[in-house]
Chain A
């Protein structure tokens, strides 16, 4: 089993749709979790941290399920500009020595 696993997609959805991605992780002792987005040939940019209580930032909602060892990202009212690859990042210990990036989920929003 991969340490961090994401559905590679691509997810191709119409503008205005709601889309959700999951990311599973193997180490139950993992410490911190993040979602990043990466546009083609650009660097990853932090989208949001994922907190145990769940968190929301505008159209984006992130949740953590420790029991089932996954995090999720929900995008509501999707925009064309949301088209990107979404990377799940898990820090598996407190020393940052075990930061694992998922391979990413590609999202394409069509008009």
Chain B
């Protein structure tokens, strides 16, 4: 498998559920990212990991919790989300932090 993969592709969850989004990159990149894309809004950078270390948390609420066990895998743990958290969550990776990013297909999340 090549590129950046994300699972699940679609997720519906209640506000009291706990779920996790998974991202895997097969490109040998060192940096990985989580983005949120809401309807009619630009992509918002949520978290940045470089060599497994979190280098940025862009004021994201604590109900979103990232985990990066190694340079190829990135998780986003979700807990007690709100309906306004419904969006497309995109994972990306890049060789270095200034390099072009390659995106996964995204997880379309609906919070009921």
Contact surface of A with B, Cβ cutoff 8 Å: 4, 31-32, 34, 42-46, 49, 87, 91, 94-97, 99-104
Contact = CB atoms under 8 A, between A and B. Distances in A.
B31 A96 contact: yes
A99 to B, nearest CB: 5
Interface string B85-112: 0000010001001111111111000000
B42 A46 contact: no
Nearest to B43: A101
A49 B99 CA distance: 9
Contacts of B45: 99-101
Contacts of B25: none
B42 A102 contact: yes
Interface residues on B, range: 20 to 34
B42 A49 contact: no
Given A95-B56, A96-B55, A97-B48, A46 B43 contact: no
Contacts, number: 57
B71 to A, nearest CB: 15
Interface of B: 31, 33, 35, 41-45, 48, 50, 55-56, 58, 90, 94, 97-106
Given A43-B105, A46-B102, A103 B41 contact: yes
Contacts of B31: 96
B102 A96 contact: no
A42 B43 CA distance: 13
A98 B50 CA distance: 14
Q: Which 7 A-B pairs have the closest CB atoms?
A: A96-B97, A97-B56, A43-B103, A101-B43, A103-B42, A101-B42, A46-B100
